[in-house]
Amino acid sequence: MLRVFEAAGGWSSVRGRLAGRVADRDLALLDEAVEFAVRWHADQTRPAGEPYVEHLLEVVCVLVEAVGTTDVDVLRAAVLHDVVEDTECSLDDVREHFGDRVAVLVDWVTKPAPSEGRTREEARAAYLTRLRTAPPDALLLKLADRLSNVQRLDTHPRPEKRRSYYRETVHFILPLAQSHPWFRQWYAVWRDAFGHLAADSPNALTQ
């Protein structure tokens, strides 16, 4: 059965779940990161309508509850991983408030804007391909991020996006998960659970 990670109760609920796993001083640092992310993401929502912060907290839950990550910089980067890509926050803002290591991790999982002469799709493929050279902590962050995004893929309101996101995940993300036993197993179960999306469309990603 596919394990699904929930954060609908918000940070107070997730914080309670992390107590005992994450040191109190690090929870206090996460308080600051959550406050920062909530301020920047404001009233943004996910495609299915849930508050954006739920996705950020789900990534934290995956890292702590599934793979035992307690490195506070990785966890803060999980909370902040979309602020540069999806808000007006700059990477320098992240660096100023949370330090260089957190900023570097956020940078690794931030999709760049398309450059001149390159389509959005080409830029996205280049970003995903670059992740093959990501340092271990950044790779863990990306695997947890994508897990949150695809664990309820059937709730996405656009059928074609479900299909394209499934194909993209199989093509780019599953190979990245092979060196991480827990993620390798989870994504294998996920691939089977949503395999009907591959059958829905004959178009496959190619390199």
Q: What is the pLDDT of residues 45-93, one digit of tens each?
A: 999 999 999 999 999 999 999 999 999 999 999 999 999 999 999 999 9
d(CA 59, CA 141): 8
Residues carrying an active site annotation: 85-86
Q: What is the fold of 10-199?
A: Hypothetical protein af1432 (1.10.3210)
pLDDT of res. 205: 41
pLDDT of res. 207: 29
State the pLDDT confidence band at 118, using cuts at 50, 70 and 90: confident
Instruction: To the nearest 10°, report the CA torsion of 124, 130, 136, 137.
Output: -40
List the end-to-end C-alpha distance of the chain, in Å, as a whole number: 31
Q: Please write the tens of the pLDDT for every residue from 140-176.
A: 999 999 999 999 999 999 999 999 999 999 999 999 9
Q: Where are the domains of the chain?
A: 10-199
Question: Residue 206: is its pLDDT beyond 50?
Answer: no
